[in-house]
Every structure is written in structure tokens, then in C-alpha cells.
Structure 1
Amino acid sequence: MLNWIIPASDELNMFIECYWFIEKTVISDRDSFPKLNPDPSAHLILSPALDKYSYTHEQQVYSGMGSHLLNPHQHTFELDHSKPFTHIGIKFRPGALYSFSRITSAITSINVVEPLELTKLITIDQALISHLFELARKQPIHCIKKLEHYLQAWIKDVRDDQHSQLVRRVFTELETTPISELAGKLHCSQRTIERSFRRVTHLTLKQYQAMAKLEAMLEHLYQRKSSDINWADLAVQFGFSDQPHLIRYLKKQIGLTPQKYALKRGLTIDIYGGVKT
């Protein structure tokens, strides 16, 4: 399986975190149904028109063919990677799609996957999309440069209103400030902050903070050997009352205990713009 992740250029970094590519060329049982962790970011996924996709959470299945939009999601999705497929992904920063009028209307809710007519969003045809896939396999940097060339049109009609401006300030403050103290730091009411944040990101502040915490914890685990992880210390580091609380939390969020995640980290993945396996 071929995959890579490349950061966005400085010009687009305000809205796009990175681009990613993943391709499976043969049918195999290995990693056929990996898990996709919760993510506050939306992903625009370019895929050949006949490629099938499937995202499952409990009894809910989102399936289709071709390019699609993976909205911010609190759930852990199970992916169907049993057949060959090709994806180029654009990982937007949380709330960034609010600024792009061409695609904002596509988001109807969090926790869903929606089909898209890609050629209506980006001025390219299927032949050029196929060319992007060829470049992704052999010349990733060139692929991203060409893709960003077509995305430039989005910058011309970007929306930057009072809500997006406030939410950018919120993201900056959340790195060091509890939610309860944001109103004093930003000199506006908590209600105003909450309303603008939900309007831009489709998430509450608590939902976003919980997802960011989970992402940081999983990345911390991924970077360490199972034998090097002190679970009691980890619980304290990430603000849990004790180790059992940490275990219950991870079990609820990703369907695995911490020990099982550490052992099966290659199967519980965020290759969609996150940890690369």
C-alpha cells in the first residue's frame, strides 16, 4: 500500500493543513478493514469515478463511488479497504470550509460522508484528475503543486466575516486557555463564542477539545513502543482521574482498550492526513 502526507504551502496553510495519498493495488486480507479515528477536520477526497468507498459506524453505513467529502466526525469509522482503491485527500483545518463558498453548502452535518461532483468544485476534468493520480504515485510534490494551482480560485472568493475571525482567535487561545476563561480573554460573551464556533466548525467547543485531546493521546501512543508506555503516568498527563478512567474513555472513543490500541496501532489508523502507518 502506497501512502504519503505533505503539508500545504504557506499560501494555503491558513485553510489547508495537508494533502495525503493512499492507494491499494491488489486484493488482500491484510488491513482490509482499518479504523479511522475521530477528526474535527473535513477531508475532500479525490477518487476515480468507479472506485467504491464505505464508512461504517455501528449500523450506519455511508457508501458510494468516486470523490466525496468526509465531514468532521466524532465517531470512529470502519473503512472498507478490501478492494483496490486510490485516494488523494485535502485535509482542511477545522472550520476552514466555512470560508469557501464553493463547498460550504456541501456540509449538512458532522459525522457523515457526502458524495460530491468534483468538477463543479474545481475547474478540472476527469483527464486532469487521472493525471493527478499518476503524479501522486511518482512525483508527489509536483502533484501537490498542480493541485494547489487549481485550488487558487477558492482563495479569490474566500469569506472572512466576524464569525471566522472570532473562531481563529478561539483556536489560538484554546492552546493555553480553559473554555470557561475564553470570554474574558476575547472580551465577548461565552454565548457569542459558542454560537460562532458552532456556526464555523459544526462542533461545540467541548466536542472539539475532546477530539483534539484524543488525537494528541493517540499520536503520543503511536510514537512509543508498547513496553515503554506507563499507563498510569499517561492518565495523569492527559487529565484523567486514574488509569481505569483512561481505559473506559479510549474504549468508548475507538473501540479498543489502550493496550489493544498499542498492539494493533497499524489497524487503528489516521492515514487520512494524520499518523502514517
Structure 2
Amino acid sequence: MARGVLYPARHVAAVETRRHDPSPEAARFVELYWHVRWRVDGPHDSKVLSYPSVHLVFEAGGPLVYGVVRDLFVRRLEGEGQVLGVKFRPGCFRPFAGGPVSDLTDRRVPAAEVFGPEVTALGERIMAGRETARLAALAEEFLLARLPEPDPVAAEVAGMVERITARPDLVRVDQAADVLGVSTRTLQRLFAEYVGVTPKWVMRRARLQEAAARAEAGDGVDWADLAVDLGYFDQAHLVRDFTATVGVPPARYARGV
């Protein structure tokens, strides 16, 4: 199960999720293709602590570009359906966007505004299919014909995001800037332009994803020790931060409630 998907046992019971890796050429921009299919008797809310990634999503009603979602992402699934998504590497949608990625944050826009009207016809072909590898191949063929020139800054920023998300103990922007060897102002500017959210948000989200992953492990979490591991001032700070985003305290989440 992908990191960040909350209540994974419920999710697996209701949803079939598959992924497909991009070709080396597309991998400069694309992290993966994801394919979700569902058939549910009643409404099912899929909840995700999103990554700092932009997605191109093919779904009923037409393809959309989703900017980074800063709050908890909730998608209600009903009946039967499917969605194919293209998850771009953090920072690597900027060459497609034609402007700061922060313009897309917390928004979803018709994909035709970014990729032109041809993406609408592609969406119809994808929604008519079923097999993950074939649908991913259709999306990749479309993207390969429209790849922008390589942007070395985008690749650099993607590396920055990877490094700081691997360090959930980082809690301050100046700490991250020191680790990455840039000034605080430069780091903030690059993230606004290329990622769409602040470095502080990225670090906080990495800590929350780690807290959720530990809770899901079912081994009995010492929340005070975890708070220290993740750089929180104390357990109460961790509880407040987790509850504000997920909607329930971490101990309650660990019980699947």
C-alpha cells in the first residue's frame, strides 16, 4: 500500500490499486502511473496524506490536473469505476505548467488547459480500457510526444524533496537549507516555483506520514518516543498536529477508528 493512504485495511477491502513504472525517458518527469478500480455497495471515502506531487488524472467527466493538496485529500467512491493517474516527480511538473506550480496548489483544473484538447480524446480511450499496463502506455505515449526540454533546476528540486522527506527529524527550514547547501530564501523560492508548497509543509507532511505508518504497523507505539524521533517538542505537539490534519488523534487512528 502506498505510503500516505490512511486506513489501508479498509482501502484494500474496497479498492484495487496497481502501479506501473515509467520508461527511463519519461522518468525524468514522471514518478509512476497509478490505476485505481473499485466496486462498492455503499459510499467509501478514500483518505490520503498527499505527497508534494502534481497528478494528471483520467477520470469520469474528463481528465484533470491536480495540484498539491495541502489538507487531507478525501475522495468519495460510489458504485463502480476507475481512475488512471500520472504522478509527477515533485518539482518536475514545472516545465509543463508554464508558470509557478504554486498556482495549482489546492486546485484541480481541466487537463486541456495544460496539455491541449487532445488530452480529452485520450481520456476517453483510457476510460474505455481496463488493463493497467496498456492504459499507462497510452498516457506515456501522449506525454513522450510532448516532453518539454529538460530543466536541470526541476531535477535539482526533486532531489531536494527526496532528501528532506527522508529526514522526518528535520523541523525547521533553516535546518533543511543547511542540509541542502542553499540559503533559506533560495529554498523557499525554489519550492514556491517548482513544488507548489513550502519546505516547512513538505517536512511536516513527511513527519505525519511517518507517524501514520508507525501507527499502522500495529506494534504498540510509544507516542512520547515517536514525538522525539520526529522532532516534535513533546507528545502533545505531535497529537495536536496529527489530529489537526487527519481528524482523529494518533492513538485512535492506530485502533482503526
TM-score > 0.5 by shorter chain: yes
Show the counterpart of 1:219: 213
Q: Give 1:262 deviation, angstroms.
A: 2.2
TM-score (norm 1): 0.71
Show the counterpart of 1:56: none
Show the counterpart of 1:192: 186
Show the counterpart of 2:33: 19
Q: 1:181 to 1:120 in 2, by over 3 A?
A: closer
1:37-90 CA distances to partner (integer Å, 9 max, x unpaired)?
Answer: 2431111110133xxxxxxxxxxxxxxxx3222210211133222344321111
Q: Give 1:219 deviation, angstroms.
A: 3.0
1:219-241 CA distances to partner (integer Å, 9 max, x unpaired)?
Answer: 3333x12x533333322322223
Amino acid at match of 2:93: L
Show the counterpart of 1:170: 160
Q: What is the aligned length?
A: 239
1:99-110 maps to which residues of 2 (within 5 A)? 99-101=95-97, 108-110=103-105
Q: 1:30 to 1:228 in 2, by over 3 A?
A: farther
Q: 1:243 to 1:261 in 2, by over 3 A?
A: same
1:166–1:193: 8 Å Cα contact kept in structure 2?
Answer: no
Show the counterpart of 1:243: 235
CA distance in 1, matches of 2:203, 2:63: 29
1:14-93 maps to which residues of 2 (within 5 A)? 14-25=28-39, 28-31=41-44, 33-49=45-61, 66-93=62-89
Show the counterpart of 1:113: 108
Please give the secondary structure, in 2, of the residue aligned with 1:195: helix
Q: 1:230 to 1:121 in 2, by over 3 A?
A: farther
Show the counterpart of 2:4: none
Q: Which has the higher contact order (CA 8 A, sep 6+)?
A: 1
Show the counterpart of 1:60: none
Q: 1:107 to 1:45 in 2, by over 3 A?
A: farther
TM-score (norm 2): 0.76
1:100–1:159: 8 Å Cα contact kept in structure 2?
Answer: no
1:101–1:158: 8 Å Cα contact kept in structure 2?
Answer: no
CA RMSD of aligned residues (A): 3.2
Task: Single out whichever of 12-21 and 109-118 deviates more from structure 2.
Answer: 109-118
Amino acid at match of 2:149: V
Please give the secondary structure, in 1, of the residue aligned with 2:145: helix
Unaligned runs of 5+ in 2: 1-14
1:85-139 CA distances to partner (integer Å, 9 max, x unpaired)?
Answer: 321111112121102257x58863412222333894484563x54443454x3x3
* Structure 1 residue 160 corresponds to structure 2 residue 148: no
2:242–2:249: 8 Å Cα contact kept in structure 1?
Answer: yes
CA distance in 2, matches of 1:172, 1:79: 26
Q: 1:9 to 1:232 in 2, by over 3 A?
A: farther
Amino acid at match of 2:47: K
